[in-house]
Amino acid sequence: MYGFEAISEHNGWAISIVGVLIVFTGLVTLSLLIRVFPKIIEIIEGTGKPKSQSKKSEKGSLRPEYSMDDKIKEKIKQYQYLISWMGEPFALPRLIDLAQKRGLDRPHATISQFIHASVIQPDGKGFYLWHAS
Amino acid sequence: MDDILKLFADFWSNTGFALADYRYIVMIAVGLTFIYLGIAKHYEPLLLVPIGFGILMGNIPVFKGLGLAIYEDNSVLHYLYFGVTSGVYPPLIFLGIGAMTDFSTMLARPTLMLLGAAAQMGVFLTFLGALALGFEPNHAASIGIIGGADGPTAIFLSAKLAPTLIGPIAIAAYSYMALVPVIQPPIMRLLTSREERLIQMKEAREVSKLEKIIFPIVGFLLCCFLAPAALPLLGMLFFGNLLKECVVAERLAQTSRTALIDIVTILLGITVGASTQGDVFLTPSSVGIFILGALSFGIATASGVIFAKIINFFSNESINPLLGAAGVSAVPDSARVVQMVGQEEDPSNFLLMHAMAPNVSGVIGSAIAAGVLWSFMN
């Protein structure tokens, strides 16, 4: 038996529709629960008010401020060395490539942090400049 | 002299050269291709190299009755293969995946989980396609799960529903997972405009440690109450993640994400490869499985991307529709592909972290889909 006849014979339509609905129900319910996690945690911890951080990122600009902790300072040193070797202005894919070859930790995430913190800035011509003080 | 010649003749008749037929040669060529893709092209080398070498091992023609081939009782390979046919290996791999997965991007933006659910449409549409092509329902369900792009889940479901098809289904699933960087980008580009690919995602909120600890417990309870048949996979996935996040069991988490998963991957790869013995593997149904598997993968990718566009239509906060392609659970390859395609348009657009959200929810979604199909087929 082939085609639609086979699908109907084996109850395929119903299985597929119910299957998709169950998968969606599971993940939608889980996502709704995850959404209330921060509020539940606030209640558990008894602080009363939701943390300002999540509110801040909702309301505030797309580029939140980053604090330069020691870890980031260390990363800046590593990348500064790479960029001094490459020369400025530099291409981001090349910087990522070099960082990966040197075995630096999570280059995409680190460079993203640098861009958000304006340590790396676009030169307007498709390349980037290093602005760490 | 005659005795010597007779011994030589007997010896020759038992060698691989005398026993080989074209099917073994074809499969050896496939095995060599896998090894080449793994080593030279870096396509999922941790999977393709063991599977490729396993294919070579399984396609050395051996004299039946010596207890050498994987399908012969009491052969060493047969004992190792038990972990596949009994469904033992996939949950152990899920334990390792759980212990190495950071769910924080998903926790920070739970809406992206829906993309992981949407990509599972590929599973059920392929199930229908396989039924239409005349496959038995059990077999069709196992073929459909290839669209989940999750090798261990595909093997687990096949072991339960279609043990005779484990070889082709596993090879198809892992082949397409390895070929994610080739299969997905054209579909993603076809279904999105340049403006859509340029959308930058908002920075995600920070997720607290407590949230990360609560998530695997709540996730496990909810998903397994909803689809109890997913218990072996999701139980181990969430347990592994709890080990990772609770910090106090770091030794166990470390073992799960390194030694244990590596050992199981080696055993799984070698035995799945060896199960592709030419005379058993090269059948018309294997060809059908490969074609349906490719379709399944394509549909899953397209479903995720289209669903992301639908979300954008109703939501104020735009999401980059490329993220939908990461809903297939090939972790982290499909997330990397999203990053790559996004950066082709704008090198300053970093989508990788955001793509990990649908990617890991796809793992959960495909395990639920497998559980649902298993329970329906029983």
The answer to whether the CB of B324 falls within 8 A of the CB of B307 is yes
Give the pLDDT score at B161: 93
Q: How many domains does chain B have?
A: 1
Chain-centroid distance of CA B276 in Å reads 17
User: What b/e string do you get for A61-95 counting C-beta neighbours within 10 Å, with b at 16 or more?
Assistant: eeeeeeeeeeebeebbeebeebbeeeeebbebeeb
What DSSP assignment string belongs to A53-66?
HHHHHHHS-SS---
Rounded Cα distance, B51 and B47, in Å: 6
The answer to whether the CB of B237 falls within 8 A of the CB of B97 is yes
Give the pLDDT score at B277: 87
Instruction: Please report whether residue A51 resides in a domain.
Output: no
Rounded Cα distance, B144 and B135, in Å: 11
Rounded Cα distance, A121 and B24, in Å: 57
Q: How confident is the model at residue A14 (pLDDT cuts 50, 70, 90)?
A: very high
Instruction: Please report whether residue A93 resides in a domain.
Output: yes
For residue A64, is pLDDT > 50? no
Dihedral, B64, B68, B70, B71 alpha carbons, nearest 10: 30
Instruction: Please report whether residue B32 resides in a domain.
Output: no
The Cα angle at residue B243 between residues B237 and B244, in degrees rounded to 5 = 90
Q: How confident is the model at residue B270 (pLDDT cuts 50, 70, 90)?
A: very high
- Write out pLDDT tens, residues B95-122: 999 999 989 889 999 999 999 999 999 8
DSSP type of residue B317: S
A3: closest chain B residue by CA: B132
Chain B residues with beta carbon closer than 8 angstroms to that of A126: 347
A41 & A78 share domain: no
ipTM of the complex in this document: 0.86
Rounded Cα distance, B198 and B68, in Å: 56
For residue A60, is pLDDT > 60? no
Instruction: Please report whether residue A36 resides in a domain.
Output: yes
Instruction: Please report whether residue B295 resides in a domain.
Output: yes
Give the pLDDT score at B331: 78
Chain A residues with beta carbon closer than 8 angstroms to that of B319: none
Chain A residues with beta carbon closer than 8 angstroms to that of B123: 19
User: In the block, which residue shows the tokens 């592909």?
Assistant: B337
Instruction: Please report whether residue A53 resides in a domain.
Output: no
- Average pLDDT over chain A, rounded to whole? 79
Poorest-pLDDT segment among A107-116, B206-215, B260-269: A107-116
Q: Which of residues 65-104 of A touch B (CB under 8 A)?
A: 91-93
A80 & A37 share domain: no
Give the pLDDT score at A68: 54
What DSSP assignment string belongs to A83-126?
HHHH-SSB-HHHHHHHHHHTT-S-HHHHHHHHHHTTSEEE-SSS
Chain B residues with beta carbon closer than 8 angstroms to that of A34: 106-107, 110, 113, 211, 215
A57: closest chain B residue by CA: B205
The answer to whether the CB of B82 falls within 8 A of the CB of B88 is yes
Instruction: Please report whether residue B323 resides in a domain.
Output: yes
Chain B residues with beta carbon closer than 8 angstroms to that of A64: 203
Instruction: Please report whether residue B7 resides in a domain.
Output: no
Q: For chains A and B, count residue pairs whose Cβ atoms are closer than 8 Å.
A: 142
- Write out pLDDT tens, residues A103-133: 787 788 888 888 878 888 888 777 888 886 6
Instruction: Please report whether residue B78 resides in a domain.
Output: no
Average pLDDT over residues B332-357: 88
Q: Which two tokens stand for residue B175?
A: 């082949």
Q: Is the peptide bond before B332 cis (omega within 30 degrees of 0)?
A: yes
Q: Measured between CB atoms, which of B121, B226, B343 is closest to A25?
A: B226
φ/ψ (deg, to 5) at A120: -110, 130
B contact test, residue of A30, A101, A114 with most B CBs within 10 A: A30
Q: Which domain holds residue B350?
A: 86-272+279-377
- Write out pLDDT tens, residues B212-236: 999 999 999 999 999 898 999 999 9
Q: A109–B343: do the CB atoms touch at under 8 Å?
A: no
A76 & A116 share domain: yes
Average pLDDT over residues B329-356: 87
Give the pLDDT score at A110: 84
Q: B123–A37: do the CB atoms touch at under 8 Å?
A: no
Instruction: Please report whether residue A58 resides in a domain.
Output: no
A contact test, residue of B123, B212, B350 with most A CBs within 10 A: B350
Q: Which domain holds residue A16?
A: 3-45
Instruction: Please report whether residue A19 resides in a domain.
Output: yes
pTM for this structure?
0.79
A122 & A74 share domain: yes
Give the pLDDT score at A65: 47
Instruction: Please report whether residue B44 resides in a domain.
Output: no
Average pLDDT over residues B252-268: 95
A24: closest chain B residue by CA: B117
- % of residues, chain B, pLDDT over 70: 100
End-to-end CA distance of chain B: 63
Average pLDDT over residues B49-75: 88
Q: Which two tokens stand for residue A87?
A: 């020369």
**Burial category of B130 from C-beta neighbours within 10 Å (exposed 0-12, middle 13-18, buried 19 and up):** buried
Q: B361–A35: do the CB atoms touch at under 8 Å?
A: no
Average pLDDT over residues B360-374: 93
Chain A residues with beta carbon closer than 8 angstroms to that of B133: 2
Q: How confident is the model at residue B139 (pLDDT cuts 50, 70, 90)?
A: very high
B203: closest chain A residue by CA: A62
A contact test, residue of B205, B211, B222, B352 with most A CBs within 10 A: B205
Distance from CA of A124 to the nearest CA of B (A): 12
Report, in angstroms and rounded to the nearest whole number, the Rg of chain B calculated over CA atoms. Answer: 22
Rounded Cα distance, A11 and A2, in Å: 13
Instruction: Please report whether residue A54 resides in a domain.
Output: no
Give the pLDDT score at A49: 52
Instruction: Please report whether residue B152 resides in a domain.
Output: yes
Chain B residues with beta carbon closer than 8 angstroms to that of A20: 120-121, 124
- Average pLDDT over chain B, rounded to whole? 90
Rounded Cα distance, A28 and B225, in Å: 15
A contact test, residue of B131, B161, B319 with most A CBs within 10 A: B131
A19: closest chain B residue by CA: B372
- B16 vs A51: which has the higher pLDDT: B16
Chain B residues with beta carbon closer than 8 angstroms to that of A24: 114, 117
Distance from CA of B132 to the nearest CA of A (A): 4
For residue A85, is pLDDT > 90? no
SS3 of chain B: helix, strand, coil, percent, to 5: 80, 0, 20
The answer to whether the CB of B214 falls within 8 A of the CB of B359 is no
Instruction: Please report whether residue A52 resides in a domain.
Output: no
Q: How many domains does chain A have?
A: 2
